[in-house]
Structure 1
Amino acid sequence: MKGFFATFKHDHWVMPYLRRYRKLLALVLFLGFMTFFCGGALMFNSGYLISRAATHPYNILMIYVPIVLARAFGIGRPAFRYAERLTSHNWVLRIVSDFRKRLYQAVEKQAVAIRQTHQTGDVLSILAEDIDHIENLYLRTVFPLVIGWLLYLFVVIGIGYFNWAFGLLMLILLGVIVIFMPLLSVAVNGRREFQARQVQRRFYTQLTDAVLGLGDWLISGRRQAFLQQQDQPIDEIATLRRADHHFQWWRNFAIQFIFGAAVVLIVWWAGLTFTHNQAEANWVAAFGLALFPTVEPFSGMSQGVSEWPVYQDSIKRVNRLDEHEPELPAQTTIGALEELKLDHVSFTYPGAKREVIDDLSLDLHPGEKLALLGPSGTGKSTLLKLILGDEQPSRGQVTLNGVPVSQLQTQRAQLFGVLDQQPYLFDTTVMNNVRLGNLNATDEDVHAAVKAVELDDLVGRLPQGYDTEVQEAGSRFSGGERQRLSLARILLQDAPIIILDEPTVSLDPITEQHLLDTVFSVLHDKTIIWVTHHLAGINHVDQVRFIEDGHFDMQGTPAQLYQDNARFRSLYDLDRGK
């Protein structure tokens, strides 16, 4: 149990929920104890009843009380077990519900920071596995361990009441099962469990990365290498699992052997203690049978404890999420958009020596259209993060109506709409996907938005119209159609500032031109910031800014730049095939 107390010393994810639901936890432990107490009491009473009935009492009333107790304990055991299972799962589901909500909120709050500190597969591993691990911490470790210890103390004290020397012997013998075996399990098997989880987590991250780049694997003809890369961690896990099962078999055999020895010793002790006369002899079978129901909780303690290193790792991982949680400044709201302004903005990523954005200034008024051009790695995407508030400038300010954008994050969805290279469509209906832009929109509003982006005919030809499933990631539709559905979503959102982050990068030239014409037509009254690599559709904008090495290299209207800037003119003619 190395590091047990250190794990919870600064924990602010698990312990607060234990304290919040402590009364329900006490009830769970009480019901769990009573389940096995009734089982032991039933066997104890049955042993006495069988022995007593074998002496042929002259009157049934002489064994009537044991008969009634047998019925009571027989009914009590399943009743307590059912209540314990119901209560324990209710307790765990309450905690896990709060835990999931807090975890997803933590991820949502620091989405940008997480992407910088965690790989995609690692984030998925936290969301998919760590919650389940902490749920199992309660169900498979905490509950069995506490209940097992309570029963252990009850058995030892009960036997010690009759004979303290034999009670001490049982303390040592059963202590091997409830103390030594769990410690041995966590030392030997726990290490393997932890290694298996580490390999599994690495495999999760590796597989996610590989799947995200699956097209490149196939194009390069490395299909077999892709499969071999996935086989290696699977073989490692299988080897660890075999060693795990081998150890468990021997451990369980040892537990059963020691438990059997304890039962034999109890029968021997009872035979010495309760055979002075016929009446006392009836208790020999009672003591001999009473211990059997405790084998289940005693043997479960070792397996539960052996999984502690996995649970410990999960607890540390979710607590580390808060280490990167950004401090959100005091929030406010603004009215109608009057001005978007970048005032001498500079930005450097932590640990980097070079400034990605170097002293940029920009003013945009309602309805203006701006194109940001430049080669990859020159700061275009970083500039968008600064405008949206995902990153904070190292120097200078990004403001809306004079208010720093960092103070407007609670109003962000009402201020910014984003159409990027690969907008995501969920595996639900066309109606639901478009309505994500405004959950209060009516069906007529959705129809109008779809018509505005020129998809009404296409949707009308679908098998179920607007109730047609778009399939996972919108795979039913082409790239241009997915962009138009996302554009319809933005129309419903009705934000004053629209970010276009290279939305046509994967489209053919004809589809690209048609989409750009549609975008600038339906968003004619919006402020648009359009990031692009080339100049198709550049005549739609009011001004062009070319970024290179973090600063604006050239700027002006498309007409001015074409007339006065030879470089722009060359790029424009090249893009038009001249």
Structure 2
Amino acid sequence: MFKIPLREAFAQDTWVKPFMKKYKNALILALALGFLTFLSAGGLMFISGYLITRAASRPENILMIYIPIVFTRGFGISRPVFRYLERLVSHNWVLKMTSKLRLKLYQTLETDGVFFKRNYRMGDILGMLAEDINHIQDLYLRTIFPTVIAWLLYIAIVIALGFFSLWFALVMALLLFSIVVVFPLWSLIINGARQEREKQLKSALYSELTDNVLGVSDWIFSQRGTEYVALHEESQAQLLNLQEKVRRFNNRRDFLVESVFGVIVVALVLWTSQTFIGNHGGPANWIAAFVLSVFPLVDAFNVLPSAAEETNRYKDSLVRLNEVPTRTEAQLTETFNGIPEIQIQNVSYTYPNTTKKVLDNLSLRLPVGHKLAILGRSGSGKSTLASLIRGDLAPSEGEITLGGIETKAFGDAISEQIGVIQQTPYLFNTTILNNLRLGNQKASEEEAWDVLEKVGLKTLVESLPEGLLTMVDEAGLRFSGGERHRLALARLLLKETPIILFDEPTVGLDPITEQALIDTFFETLSDKTIIWITHHLQGIEKMDQVIFIEDGQLEMSGNPRELAKTNPRYKKLKTIDEGRL
């Protein structure tokens, strides 16, 4: 992937900068409080050093002791107060910003999710997105805040020393420049490549571990468990070795930084000894004052090299977030023409890392209220077509639109237009009412009873001791297969989606239950668009159109009653399905 500097990533950013502008006053306040914290710490040690040495000699006036004592108390109180306020304001600012950032991500991630599914495995997605928001959070708390505060202190120290001695201010400027610029740049250059390699190894481990955990039964049954453990240990060893190199470099760098501070201390001792001889009661007063004031400032500067080398991961997170489309549901609503007609135009689909087309140049039109049955052998592309219609996958070629908008652009908003009933609808371990309200959280009990009556479950639920408040066992095991499907249908009726997609909903049901369920579906959904994926032809006469997909292509299409009269292949399928062959 093309690498861009953090500065350019910020320049092109449309995710974080808007929140920085929105909360800029809190940001400025946090930086000011951070600066005042270290200024108070330095002032406390400066006054304390002067007070200690001044009190050891005979003061000419009690005010020579009393006034520094007052300043010491003032700085002693202000330092923890400023520190507490800085932490409170900075963390509140960051958490407020990242909470908005998370909300924005959750609202738009599904839109980009279709592209991730096309190009990456589950482990890749985990490796790329699991920690991005946390990285952005750390960018401010561990890099931007400390760096800006250190630069403010750097400028203040050089200016303050310039009032005493211009040449010594320049010397300190050079020494501190090595800590503020040289060491961070060195860390960024040396450890930058290592961190990039570390990220690659972690991503590989994410993918490898995820794939192998999902397929752990295959490893066990093939008696290759030891081989899997060895493979994982090898990858882990590479990562640990790289991290050890980073730690060794950081230790050497930190030693050099501390050495520079040692040089600064010695330089201050020599300079104060030469500058203040014979003045203000002797040099000792000012030697202690200037030297002691350096130590609390060490904490402000020695974090800069580590902060700088972290910018690579922050940059990658920032780039990835900005690659996520930000078309919101509100924008989709503005574009949506309100007519949920589905258009499938010259659609082909090929799974990643393969060349065979699962679907090949397929075109269909589903007007409002149309009833479509999709037939085909296992692996023929039926479920893939359903995923494309839902927007879970994006076509390799062509496009699928709903109301004039490509389905892949809807993201979570697609659930407002297309409802799905799977082979085994899932019911949660909560009340019947709560299970129904998954379709509409604002639904009243009266509305719940109404949809239960439509799907033929009102009498059953009324017979239960607690009615709508009856607890449903995990996965709905207290209900039969047909009852679970009816509850799932009731859930969709509360949601009022104009399109319903059935993914082989009658598999495993006995013929009587199957026919009763099909009758319920079509009676309650007569005004809806229905897409029915099936390999079973019972109830097929209720459909407006039947298509048969084979090898990714449309092999048969037409009205079921007309096909039964004119199409030999359909006649044969019908005969086999009815058990008459």
Same fold (TM over 0.5): yes
Distance 2:64 2:399 in 1: 94
| 1:553 corresponds to which of 531, 539, 555 | 555
SS of the aligned residue for 2:324 comes to helix
Distance 1:558 1:220 in 2: 47
Compute the displacement of 1:124 (Å).
Answer: 3.6
Q: Which residue of 2 aligns with 1:346?
A: 346
**Residue pairs, 1:328-343, within 5 angstroms:** 331-334=335-338
Compute the displacement of 1:221 (Å).
Answer: 5.2
SS of the aligned residue for 1:373 comes to strand
Compute the displacement of 1:185 (Å).
Answer: 1.5
**Residue pairs, 1:40-119, within 5 angstroms:** 40-57=42-59, 60-119=62-121
**Residue pairs, 1:330-479, within 5 angstroms:** 331-334=335-338, 345-349=345-349, 356=359, 358=361, 360-361=363-364, 366=369, 369-376=371-378, 378-381=380-383, 383-384=385-386, 404=404, 413=415, 415-421=417-423, 431-446=433-448, 449=451, 452=455, 466=469, 468=471, 474=475
Q: Which residue of 1 aligns with 2:500?
A: 498
SS of the aligned residue for 1:11 comes to coil
**Pair 1:524-2:512 in alignment:** no
Give the aligned length: 565
Distance 1:464 1:71 in 2: 70
Q: Which residue of 2 aligns with 1:489?
A: 491
SS of the aligned residue for 1:524 comes to helix
Q: Which residue of 2 aligns with 1:25?
A: 27
Structure 1: gaps of 5 or more residues: none
Tell me the amino acid that sits aligned with residue 33 of structure 2: L
Same amino acid, percent of matched pairs: 39
**Residues 221-244 of structure 1, C-alpha deviations (whole Å, 9 max, x = no match):** 554455445444333322222222
Distance 1:398 1:52 in 2: 83
Worse-superposed segment, 176-185 or 544-553: 544-553
SS of the aligned residue for 2:440 comes to coil
| 1:293 corresponds to which of 296, 309, 319 | 296
SS of the aligned residue for 1:438 comes to coil
Tell me the amino acid that sits aligned with residue 299 of structure 1: N
> CA 1:167 to 1:222, structure 2 compared with 1: closer, same or farther past 3 Å?
same
Worse-superposed segment, 370-379 or 164-173: 370-379
**Residue pairs, 1:298-317, within 5 angstroms:** 298-317=301-320
**Residues 328-360 of structure 1, C-alpha deviations (whole Å, 9 max, x = no match):** 69524548x8xx575x84224599897935464
Distance 1:157 1:469 in 2: 72
> CA 1:386 to 1:255, structure 2 compared with 1: closer, same or farther past 3 Å?
closer
**Residues 394-431 of structure 1, C-alpha deviations (whole Å, 9 max, x = no match):** 779867xxx64659969855543222357666787654
Cα contact 1:345–1:394 (8 A) shared by 2? no
> CA 1:494 to 1:377, structure 2 compared with 1: closer, same or farther past 3 Å?
same
| 1:284 corresponds to which of 278, 283, 287 | 287
**Residue pairs, 1:147-162, within 5 angstroms:** 147-162=149-164
Distance 1:569 1:548 in 2: 17
Compute the displacement of 1:453 (Å).
Answer: 6.8
SS of the aligned residue for 1:279 comes to coil
TM-score, length-scaled by structure 1? 0.83
Q: Which residue of 2 aligns with 1:170?
A: 172
Cα contact 2:337–2:404 (8 A) shared by 1? no
Cα contact 1:369–1:541 (8 A) shared by 2? yes
SS of the aligned residue for 1:356 comes to strand
> CA 1:78 to 1:554, structure 2 compared with 1: closer, same or farther past 3 Å?
same
Tell me the amino acid that sits aligned with residue 139 of structure 2: L
Structure 2: gaps of 5 or more residues: none
Compute the displacement of 1:88 (Å).
Answer: 0.6
Compute the displacement of 1:440 (Å).
Answer: 1.4
Distance 2:84 2:296 in 1: 17
Distance 1:414 1:559 in 2: 32
Compute the displacement of 1:378 (Å).
Answer: 4.6
> CA 1:254 to 1:413, structure 2 compared with 1: closer, same or farther past 3 Å?
closer
Compute the displacement of 1:308 (Å).
Answer: 1.1
Compute the displacement of 1:152 (Å).
Answer: 2.1
Tell me the amino acid that sits aligned with residue 317 of structure 1: R
| 1:319 corresponds to which of 322, 327, 343 | 322
Distance 2:110 2:177 in 1: 47
SS of the aligned residue for 1:166 comes to helix
SS of the aligned residue for 2:524 comes to coil
Distance 1:51 1:379 in 2: 87
Q: Which residue of 2 aligns with 1:533?
A: 535
Cα RMSD between the aligned structures?
A: 4.2
**Residues 139-198 of structure 1, C-alpha deviations (whole Å, 9 max, x = no match):** 101111111122222223322321222222222223222222212221223332332222
Distance 1:207 1:536 in 2: 43
Compute the displacement of 1:117 (Å).
Answer: 3.8
Compute the displacement of 1:530 (Å).
Answer: 0.4
> CA 1:495 to 1:21, structure 2 compared with 1: closer, same or farther past 3 Å?
closer
**Pair 1:208-2:207 in alignment:** no
Tell me the amino acid that sits aligned with residue 181 of structure 1: F
